[in-house]
């Protein structure tokens, strides 16, 4: 039987500490060659619509996950399918909007854990959407933040974001009026926007800062200007293959300096201890996140097991004999 797990059920059981643990664990297995990852592919459809699909397999664990999602009429709809490779069964269909927000935040949490300075207590967030909230939640889970600045174009939304996240996380979150103000004099920067053009200027980034850039996943879009990218001593991505296809921050930032791709490393190799991270407190480090199916796989396995334990979800019948 297949277990259908809806958004409210995912929200009730999939906490940020669990998401960070799942992403960190799958990253170590990915570095060991135990996880296969297929990059995202897109179909461009009429009227500005898109269909996206991606997949990953945990070979020793016996799981495969695929994520499919549509963008139609300004709305995104996500679904993760979890299969067993032992018998071919479809184990679960998981509504995956919240799952995606959590796993993306968790990946930045993992990157921050390994790359941000140990004494980092200040952060700047550019963006005020749902992804920005899980970015803040994740970095607050791995560093003891004392103050946060947030910028978004809509005054009312950024004030609401500051008020709600201050209350939820017990941290001083202040709304500011420019992206430059948000990113100045902070130890951790997170960008989670839909911007086509840079929202972070390199001159305003302090020495020793760590940056998580998650918003732009198209080769013609970027959140960081070329100066910011040039100042980064260590650059990590989720997938070099996928980044070459859709990380506009790097594709555009490396223009004319293609050899810089040779210095980019994957987050999984950092987590596994194969590659070094920060080597001194003055370095600027960058994690450019596009989102890979390995994280969806890890999240789906975690959610599926928790739902089974707590008897959540609805049983669906597939491929039953007549």
Residues 225/249, Cβ–Cβ less than 8 Å: no
Distance of CA 169 to the CA centre of its chain: 19
For the chain, residues classed under CATH 3.40.50.720 are: 109-291
**Phi, then psi, of 170 in degrees rounded to 5:** 65, 35
How far, in Å, CA of 263 to CA of 122, rounded? 28
How far, in Å, CA of 148 to CA of 125, rounded? 7
For the chain, residues classed under CATH 3.30.1780.10 are: 2-100+294-316
In terms of Cα–Cα distance, which of 310, 312, 292, 302 is closest to 15? 302
Contact residues for 12 (Cβ-Cβ < 8 A; gap 6+): 312
DSSP type of residue 202: G
Residues 174/185, Cβ–Cβ less than 8 Å: no
The answer, as to whether pTM is greater than 0.75, is yes
Structure tokens at 251: 């594709």
Under CATH, which number does the domain 2-100+294-316 receive? 3.30.1780.10
How far, in Å, CA of 288 to CA of 224, rounded? 10
Distance of CA 204 to the CA centre of its chain: 24
- Say which CATH topology domain 109-291 has: Rossmann fold (3.40.50)
Digit-by-digit pLDDT tens for the chain (322 residues) are 899 999 999 999 999 999 999 999 999 999 999 999 998 999 999 999 999 999 999 999 999 999 999 999 999 999 999 999 999 999 999 999 999 999 999 999 999 999 999 999 999 999 999 999 999 999 999 999 999 999 999 999 999 999 999 999 999 999 999 999 999 999 999 999 988 899 999 888 999 999 999 987 777 889 999 999 999 999 999 999 989 988 889 989 888 888 899 999 999 999 999 999 999 999 999 999 999 999 999 999 999 999 999 999 999 998 876 5
Structure tokens at 183: 């990113």
In terms of Cα–Cα distance, which of 83, 94, 76, 82 is closest to 217? 76
What does DSSP say about strands 75-84 and 63-72: parallel, antiparallel, or unpaired?
antiparallel
């Amino acid at each position: 039987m297949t277990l259908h797990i809806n958004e409210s059920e995912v929200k009730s059981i999939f906490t940020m500490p669990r998401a960070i643990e799942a992403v960190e664990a799958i990253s170590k297995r990915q570095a060991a060659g135990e996880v296969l990852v297929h990059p995202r592919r897109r179909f461009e459809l009429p009227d500005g619509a898109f269909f996206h699909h991606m997949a990953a397999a945990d070979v020793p664990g016996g799981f495969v996950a695929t994520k499919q999602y549509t963008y139609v009429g300004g709305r995104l709809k996500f679904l993760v399918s979890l299969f067993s490779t032992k018998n071919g069964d479809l184990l679960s269909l998981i509504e995956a909007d919240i799952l995606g927000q959590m796993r993306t935040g968790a990946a930045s949490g993992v990157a921050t854990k390994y790359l941000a300075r140990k004494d980092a207590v200040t952060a700047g967030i550019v963006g005020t959407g749902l992804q920005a909230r899980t970015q803040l939640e994740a970095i607050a889970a791995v560093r003891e933040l004392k103050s946060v600045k947030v910028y978004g174009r809509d005054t009312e939304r950024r004030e609401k974001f500051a008020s709600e996240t201050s209350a939820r996380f017990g941290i001083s979150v202040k709304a500011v009026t420019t992206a430059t103000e948000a990113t100045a004099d902070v130890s951790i920067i997170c960008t989670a926007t839909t911007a086509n053009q840079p929202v972070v200027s390199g001159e305003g980034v302090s020495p020793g800062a760590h940056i998580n850039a998650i918003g732009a996943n198209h080769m013609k879009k970027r959140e960081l200007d070329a100066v910011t990218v040039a100042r980064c001593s260590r650059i990590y991505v989720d997938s070099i293959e996928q980044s070459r296809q859709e990380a506009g921050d790097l594709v555009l930032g490396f223009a004319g300096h293609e050899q810089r791709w040779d210095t980019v490393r994957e987050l999984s190799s950092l987590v596994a201890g194969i590659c070094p991270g920060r080597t001194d407190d003055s370095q600027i480090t960058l994690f450019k996140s596009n989102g890979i199916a390995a994280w969806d796989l890890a999240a789906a396995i975690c959610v599926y097991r928790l739902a089974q334990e707590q008897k959540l979800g609805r049983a669906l019948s597939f491929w039953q004999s007549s």
